[in-house]
Each structure stands twice: as C-alpha cells, then as structure tokens.
Amino acid sequence: MIARHIASRRLPRSGSGFTLVELLAALLVLTLLTSVVAVGTSGALDVYRREQFASQAQMLSGTVDSSLADPFRFMTSTLAEDGQEVDTVVFHRQTISAAGGVRLVSIDGQLYLQGDQGDFPLLNGSAYGNCKIELVDDPTDPEDDYSCTSVCVKGAYRITDASDPSLSRTYRFYYTPLGESYTRELPIPTS
C-alpha cells in the first residue's frame, strides 16, 4: 500500500513540457505577428498625419484668406507731397501706409504686412499651429482665372508642416481693390 502511494506521487513525466524547438517556433510566430502589426500601425499613422496636416493647412489657408481680403480689397493709393504714390490699408484698426506699396512678407514661417511703420503680424502666432508659411513665386497660368486683367493683388504661399517638411501645400490668392483711387499693382516680394 505504501508503494502504491509513492508511485502516485511521482514527478510529472518529462514529455509534458515544451521542447526548445517548440519555444523557438512560438517565439518566431509572435515576432512575425508583432512586426505585421507594427508595419500596419506605422502606415496608419502616416495616413493620419497626412490627413491631419491637410485639414490644418486648409483651415490656416482660410484664415489667411479672410485676414488678407479686407486690407487688400479696401486699400487706397494717394499721392504724397513729393509726387510719390503711397498705399494705405486698414488692418486690425491700424492704418498701415507705405511709399512704394504695402508689402506682404514672410518672416520665420509667418506672414506680415510691411509698411513704413514696421512689420505687422497677419495672424496671431498660435494660429499657425505646427505649420510654417513662406511666400513663393506665383505658379499661375496666365490664361487662368487668377491672371490680372486690371489692377490686382496676387501671389502664392506655401504651407509646410514644421515637423515633416515633406508635407506641404501651395495656395494662391487674388484680390482686386474695390476703391477707384487705387491705380497700380501692389508689389509683393518673396522674402
């Protein structure tokens, strides 16, 4: 009876565990599954980042357009005492004037209106989010709707993601001043 009791308390057989080959095979399968998930997640994150930038760039472009529309559409041009033309725009209740033209400039990834009194930021710095803006040569075709047939203000700017410069979009703007006193094209440097 004692021998029977001892026999029932034996240690488990060695055949009931995992062999080294089985452990390595399981580890290989787990590694393959992890790499497939990582590649899929990376691709999804790239798509998400591109879509997020496109949305942010579109909103920023709309904000820039609405900020530029009134100053450029209602600008005036007058003759100074020395006979030189002086352009004047009203921007955020400030009058900005410049002999030779009020200019739109990009400085350190932000847009400014430049007059004789200095540079005036077009937008609050936080409006740019994670984007930078620079003025670029106008890529318009002379035969499209954006070509100036009379006096106008036109140009183009590029919005770029600050963290990923490969993400960028170019936008064009075109404004015709409404005032009869404005008689010439506004100079817009690409600085």
Question: Which of 75, 66, 65 minimizes the C-alpha distance to 172?
Answer: 65
Please report the pLDDT score of residue 191 as a whole number.
46
In whole angstroms, what is the distance from residue 172 CA to residue 135 CA? Answer: 10
Please report the pLDDT score of residue 1 as a whole number.
54
Report whether 91 contacts 113 (CB < 8 A).
yes
Please report the pLDDT score of residue 158 as a whole number.
92
Please report the pLDDT score of residue 13 as a whole number.
56
Please report the pLDDT score of residue 150 as a whole number.
56
Tell me if the pTM is above 0.85: no
Q: Which amino acid is at 80?
A: A
Question: Which of 124, 132, 125, 137 minimizes the C-alpha distance to 108?
Answer: 132
How many Cβ atoms are within 10 Å of 49's Cβ, its own excluded?
Answer: 14
- What pLDDT tens digit does each residue of the chain (191 aa) get? 555 555 556 555 556 788 899 899 999 999 999 888 888 788 888 889 899 999 999 999 999 988 888 888 788 777 777 777 787 888 877 888 887 778 888 899 999 888 888 888 988 888 888 899 998 876 555 555 555 555 667 788 999 998 888 999 999 887 777 765 555 555 554 44
